[in-house]
Structure 1
């Protein structure tokens, strides 16, 4: 007969019997930890994650809801991760701890004109649980650091305890076994990780598309004033000191001499950077027990490069805010009043502000600080600061401002009147090799003059700022139609017959600034410069250059400093779009729009380019037959071309 405690369905208020931090193996502790509690006179191990277990102390009171019977393994009673619910009892409140927080979100990408859904993402946001989750975080973190030289993970041998650094899971040089992830570089022992898992994904799509790292507040914060002076302890002048203290601060809790001695010893074995991480881990236990703030800090938001610039960054931040508010992350103690972030990227990307953060000030080192109020009291204090502080009154809590702006809209429409373009060629077999000549002669082909109307008596008006899609079968004349418009602006091209109408006229306004992309024919030229340099030189503003690169889906520092020759075919197409947009045209003509991009990436790019064109006042004319792109662009006109005819209609 299986021994049971007979407690299934019970709700028990009990205590932690031993220090969970001391019980944890440092091998893989992030995703595996134990909380020992007393149930009916027996010690029962609750299986949880190490990042949760480390926050509890011996004799602490908790509430356990038993969804199943504890299982006896040897002499140990165990409750598996699906067998219980756990609540921390803190000052008369019950704080939910286990199961981990999770919530499903649907992010719809809509047409800006009619709010019609174009496509959507369905994701579940939850705390990282497994070794696989943390492996994927390491992979994403490499994109954040964006450097082949940066090592983002620290690993430890499960047998001998040897440490090493690597961006992929290494094997112990002594024992040959896979090493276990110990730390993600830049994180601290108090860090908690929220991942966004893509639901309903295809096999080729990533499982984790984003993650957020949440830490305790930094111990000290100063403000750099516009005159260069530094104002000390600015945070405590705006908010109560107890909101930010005591925070996780190991160096303030240990004897400096001992820390330095231990660090010097480890440095001789592992080197400076790895020794620093090991010492930090070793002195963190006491600091974790003491940390108890009413604030949290979003220390990192990383979105998969293929999914950036499409709202997932904002969604990640909003999900993290809910997680922090409901579970009081990271410490799970005091009610949280505020979330802070220190993010240089906030100067170039407004996703924190879109999530509701206020820009407050720059740190002493010049990095922007943004804050999100979780309570009415925090909201009141932020607003008072922004209204009364002489420097904050200038920016009013807003940091990011679009630098691309608008263009000088075309003063008049493009008027196409009685446009005719004929095509003629002579098919002659005389110059062909005899074997090929015999094949064609068998079909009755000897010498033939081919003449046809590509466009005939076309009359169309394209208004300033309109988005126009040109469709038609392959060879129907889409490219020819675009050439006629390009030739009307760039008269020098009409020395080539293909840019010159046979009959009729195309009137373009005198202030037209044209940029065009006809693959293999008219393309921007790239040298050995990086993409960021290329776009910056054209637009004259590095911040606006980042904005343009983000707009075309090249929103990763790896792409910013890549050279054109280092890109894939699809990335090259997006780089060409960025180059054209950097010229700030008021007429943009593109053939085979997004032809080299997969369906979802093409929709993302089309949506953002279309949105930019409408905001900036750019007349956009593209040729494509892809129905999903036409639907995403939601054009003002569709021009159908075929068999010599061309006519426009509203979709």
Structure 2
């Protein structure tokens, strides 16, 4: 399934945070949202997974307006990993992941063998199968992140919406998580601060700046020196990664941000 965001406007607290956003997350692709802090990435994602209501525009799931779906219907199609991780669950790791099966259960229905297999597989996918009996509150930030991702996998959605999923993860687990997202083959809409990670894992990028989508396309097309200067206020060169051939952004850490906007870098 695909996600289409059409002329989306989102406002709260008397302030417009997203203004006229258009974007596509194509079926089976990983679509990234990148942009400076405060550019509207999290707000846009919250609207996609129905935590916020748009003031105008709409979000379509394979042509159907999400507002036409019931909460249960939406939860069977879209699973989210927000930045706000919720409270400290007084549950075991396995019980937290099993919460992902809720959209498929009748009220007060117990877990069946299919649910158990799905939960076990989700825990194994994120490398937490050896921690199923631990209390969620005992985990490190990175371990909690992986458990909540497993909960999203257990939901068996058509679309994953992930807001900064690599937060709190060490380098190895960041690499493993991004490889896992690629292997899933699900439609994925993800915000990432790490531009090199975004360039490596995403099929398509949308760049947000001051609540607007200012560039869209393949990472190599979008992440140009001019855009890095204009949107992020940094001087950068785009080269080929020596191991993967993906675009690699090399930042000039000596440049003063205010001085690079007029800079023209040729690689």
- TM-score (ref. length: structure 2): 0.64
Q: For residue 422 of structure 1, report the CA deviation from its aligned partner.
A: 3.9
Cα distance between partner residues in 2 of 1:454 and 1:481: 9
Partner of 2:158: 586
Q: Secondary structure at the match of 1:454?
A: strand
Q: Secondary structure at the match of 2:123?
A: helix
Partner of 1:264: none
Q: Per the alignment, do residues 629 and 534 of structure 1 end up closer, same or farther by CA in structure 2, a change over 3 Å counting?
A: same
Cα distance between partner residues in 2 of 1:542 and 1:554: 15
Partner of 1:325: none
Residue 515 (structure 1) aligned with residue 82 (structure 2)? no
**Structure 1 residues 232-271: aligned runs within 5 Å:** none
Q: Per the alignment, do residues 538 and 524 of structure 1 end up closer, same or farther by CA in structure 2, a change over 3 Å counting?
A: farther
Partner of 2:46: 483
Q: CA offsets, 1:143-200, max 9 Å, x none?
A: xxxxxxxxxxxxxxxxxxxxxxxxxxxxxxxxxxxxxxxxxxxxxxxxxxxxxxxxxx
Partner of 2:263: none
Contact kept? 1:421, 1:502, Cα under 8 Å: yes
Q: Secondary structure at the match of 1:475?
A: coil
Cα distance between partner residues in 2 of 1:644 and 1:536: 36
**Structure 1 residues 43-122: aligned runs within 5 Å:** none
Contact kept? 1:553, 1:605, Cα under 8 Å: no
CA RMSD, 1 decimal? 2.5
Contact kept? 1:469, 1:624, Cα under 8 Å: yes
Q: For residue 632 of structure 1, report the CA deviation from its aligned partner.
A: 4.4
Contact kept? 1:467, 1:637, Cα under 8 Å: yes
Q: For residue 608 of structure 1, report the CA deviation from its aligned partner.
A: 1.3
Aligned counterpart for 2:25 among listed residues 458, 462, 466: 462
Q: For residue 514 of structure 1, report the CA deviation from its aligned partner.
A: 1.5
Q: Per the alignment, do residues 531 and 462 of structure 1 end up closer, same or farther by CA in structure 2, a change over 3 Å counting?
A: same
Partner of 2:35: 472
Partner of 1:637: 204
Aligned counterpart for 1:623 among listed residues 180, 188, 191: 191
User: Tell me, which stretches of 5 or more residues in structure 2 are unaligned?
Assistant: 65-72, 102-113, 220-267
Contact kept? 1:607, 1:632, Cα under 8 Å: no
Q: CA offsets, 1:481-511, max 9 Å, x none?
A: 1122122xxxxx5xxxxx1222222222457
Residue 553 (structure 1) aligned with residue 106 (structure 2)? no
Aligned counterpart for 1:650 among listed residues 213, 218, 222: 218
Partner of 2:53: 500
Residue 608 (structure 1) aligned with residue 180 (structure 2)? yes
Cα distance between partner residues in 2 of 1:537 and 1:462: 26
Partner of 2:167: 595
- TM-score (ref. length: structure 1): 0.28
Q: Secondary structure at the match of 1:609?
A: helix
Contact kept? 1:591, 1:623, Cα under 8 Å: yes
Partner of 2:247: none
Q: Which has the larger radius of gyration?
A: 1
Contact kept? 2:162, 2:190, Cα under 8 Å: yes
Aligned counterpart for 2:7 among listed residues 406, 415, 418: 418
Q: Secondary structure at the match of 1:458?
A: strand
Contact kept? 1:421, 1:501, Cα under 8 Å: yes
Aligned counterpart for 1:532 among listed residues 86, 89, 94: 94
Q: Secondary structure at the match of 2:49?
A: helix
Q: For residue 420 of structure 1, report the CA deviation from its aligned partner.
A: 2.2
The higher-RCO structure (CA 8 Å, 6+ apart) is 2
Q: For residue 538 of structure 1, report the CA deviation from its aligned partner.
A: 4.7
Partner of 2:250: none
